[in-house]
């Protein structure tokens, strides 16, 4: 594998406050792009990229040290949100809460930015709302449109926002789940939101929460798609630059711990600000040391322990003649396995229910991705759950494996067998 300097730029200033006072606190080495699954019939030299996290001493944003060309990251994207029933149910709850709280009507336009295969939009559609998606992955936009959720194959920016405004009018509700952390130019993103959002509209950002990332050693959710790792403090700073006001924040357990940030235009005083919800998280971040560099410098120690513990366990089990497979050919699984040096000598294969991933090899360590019937045809003794954020759902759907003596390995926040 070779390092691909030509496909990325190095970060020299903070994306939010432009400070150059950035300190590296995590270095996972040279890691391949985690959603670039390998076609075994068309193998080519895989590229690796430095995977490091920097902490901004000015505004407390954590961010990758490089920005990979998004055209390379998202041109043909195999990740599908709707594979998980847990996530689909989460999206239904989000849609119901939005309709109830903001009295959304059937004439209201709901836009989902980075709408993937239409998973969240279909849940909003169940309430009879006008729905529209936008996603740069042409393969996903086509799947979503074919499933009845109209999706524009494009990146979210002022040009695409203007096109939607001209063709469909202003949006009453703009949903941005698992995309705001993926964006390099946050100013352009928010200028586009202001173009399309009604004066009385609501904009919601859902991102993984850095508090959970640090507290639960979720280092494997560091990958080249995730440019920013948010706390409430830098998020508010970025939004205020564009006259956008946070009026509520909810914590969710999804994806290892996320925050759902409710935003309105500053001029729209019709929606009161829940100061307690906002201030309590800002206070919590400060109290647990997330606004201090020292907390981050201590993080790598916990990462190293996960690496040594998972390797020791896999090597012990294999030396005992046990067969270990994995479940969830996830981005986080690719980071964990490449960082720890896990290959098919230690993990025989990876099960994934995403049809488009089956038959491919995982990036970098090239472990075969197979359907769930391998649990019967090539039954393992242990299942390492790479998609630990969905461990409950995966264990529920593999009851037969469990009932016939199969055991699970959960790697995060600490390696354990259940
Ligand atoms: O931000 C992102 C997050 C939301 O999703 C993306 N940039 C990348 C992606 O990260 P991930 O791949 O680590 O996400 P997941 O949702 O943890 O991946 C789960 C994987 O496990 C998928 O490949 C689907 C698979 N899966 C499965 O095969 N059967 C998951 C469940 C629940 C299942 O039952």
Strand-pairing partners, residue 258, are 208, 252
**How far apart are the CA of 79 and the centre of ligand 1, in A?**
7
Structure tokens at 291: 């606004």
What contacts 73, CB < 8 A, 6 or more positions away?
33, 35, 224, 225
What topology is assigned to 294-417 in CATH?
A: Rossmann fold (3.40.50)
pLDDT at site 346:
98
Residue 34: its pLDDT value, please?
94
Q: Which residue has the tokens 């200028």?
A: 191
Are 21 and 56 contacting, i.e. CB atoms less than 8 angstroms apart?
Answer: yes
Instruction: Establish whether residue 389 lines the binding site of ligand 1, counting it when its CB lies within 6 angstroms of any ligand atom.
Output: yes
CATH 3.40.50.720 positions along the chain are 294-417
Burial 376-406 (b: 16+ CB within 10 A, else e): eeeebebbbbbbbbbbeebbeebeebeeeeb
CA of 85 to the centre of ligand 1 (A): 11
Domain 81-277: which CATH class?
alpha beta
List Cβ neighbours of 383 (8 Å cut-off, separation of 6 or more).
324, 325, 326, 327, 351, 394, 398, 401, 406, 407, 408, 409
Q: Which among 64, 74, 330, 337 is the best mutation to test ligand 1's pocket, defined by most ligand atoms within 8 Å of the CB?
A: 330
**Sheet arrangement for strand 324-327:** 369-370, 350-351, 324-327, 382-385, 407-410, 416-417
By C-alpha distance, which of 376, 377, 359 is closest to 368? 359
The pLDDT value recorded for residue 68 is 97
Give the contacts of 20 (CB within 8 A, at least 6 positions apart): 12, 13, 14
What are the phi and psi torsion angles at 283 (to 5°)? -65, -40
Diameter of the chain measured on Cα atoms: 66
Average pLDDT per consecutive 10 residues, the chain (418 residues; last block may be shorter)? 80 98 98 95 91 98 97 91 97 97 97 98 97 97 96 98 98 98 98 98 98 98 98 98 98 98 97 96 98 94 97 98 98 98 96 97 97 97 98 97 97 98
| Residue 55 phi, psi (nearest 5) | -110, 130
pLDDT given at position 154: 97
Could you tell me if 248 and 277 are in contact, meaning their C-beta atoms sit under 8 angstroms apart? yes
**Rounded distance, CA 182 to CA 197, Å?**
21
Q: Is the CB of 356 under 6 A from ligand 1?
A: no
For residue 329 and ligand 1, the question of a CB distance below 6 A is answered with: yes
| Closest residue by Cα to residue 353 from 379, 324, 374, 334 | 374
Residue of 116, 390, 399 to test ligand 1 pocket, by largest number of atoms within 8 Å of CB: 390
* Domain limits, CATH 3.40.50.150, in the chain: 81-277
pTM of the model: 0.97
Nearest to 350 by CA among 335, 331, 372: 372
- The alpha carbon of 301 and the centre of ligand 1 are apart by a number of angstroms equal to 26
The preferred substitution site among 220, 331, 349, 359 for testing ligand 1, maximizing ligand atoms within 8 Å of CB, is 331
């Amino acid at each position: 594998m070779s390092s691909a300097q030509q496909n990325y730029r190095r970060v020299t200033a903070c994306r939010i406050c432009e400070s150059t006072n950035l300190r590296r606190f995590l270095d996972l080495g040279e890691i391949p792009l985690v959603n670039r699954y390998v076609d075994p019939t068309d193998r080519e030299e895989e590229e690796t990229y430095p995977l490091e996290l920097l902490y901004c001493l000015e505004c407390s944003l954590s961010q990758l040290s490089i920005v990979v060309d998004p055209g390379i990251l998202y041109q043909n994207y195999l990740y599908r949100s709707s594979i998980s029933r847990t996530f689909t149910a989460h999206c239904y709850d989000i849609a119901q809460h939005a309709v109830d709280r903001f009295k959304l009507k059937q004439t209201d336009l709901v836009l989902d930015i980075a709408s993937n295969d239409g998973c969240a939009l279909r849940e909003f559609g169940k309430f009879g709302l006008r729905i529209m998606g936008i996603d740069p992955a042409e393969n996903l936009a086509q799947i979503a449109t074919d499933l009845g959720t109209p999706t524009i194959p494009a990146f979210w920016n002022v040009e695409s926002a203007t096109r939607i405004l001209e063709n469909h009018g202003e949006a009453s509700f703009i949903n941005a789940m698992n995309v705001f952390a993926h964006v390099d130019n946050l100013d352009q993103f928010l200028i586009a939101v202001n173009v399309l959002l009604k004066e009385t509209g609501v904009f919601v950002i859902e991102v993984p929460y850095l508090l959970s990332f640090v507290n639960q050693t979720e280092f494997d959710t560091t990958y080249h798609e995730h440019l920013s790792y948010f706390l409430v403090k830098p998020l508010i700073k970025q939004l205020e630059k564009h006259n956008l006001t946070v009026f509520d924040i909810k914590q969710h357990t999804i994806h290892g711990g996320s925050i759902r940030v409710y935003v309105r235009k500053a001029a729209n005083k019709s929606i009161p600000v829940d100061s307690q919800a906002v201030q309590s998280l800002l206070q919590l971040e400060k109290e647990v040391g997330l606004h201090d560099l020292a907390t981050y410098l201590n993080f790598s120690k916990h990462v190293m322990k996960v690496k040594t513990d998972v390797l020791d366990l896999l090597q012990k089990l294999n030396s005992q003649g046990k067969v270990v497979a994995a479940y969830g050919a996830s981005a986080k699984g690719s980071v964990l396995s490449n960082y720890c040096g896990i290959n098919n000598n230690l993990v025989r294969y990876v099960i994934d229910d995403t049809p488009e991933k089956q038959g491919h090899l995982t990036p970098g360590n090239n472990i075969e991705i197979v359907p769930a019937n391998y649990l019967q045809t090539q039954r393992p003794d242990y299942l390492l759950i790479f998609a630990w954020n969905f461990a409950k759902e995966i264990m529920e759907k593999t009851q037969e494996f469990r009932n016939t003596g199969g055991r699970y390995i959960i790697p995060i926040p600490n390696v354990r067998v259940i």
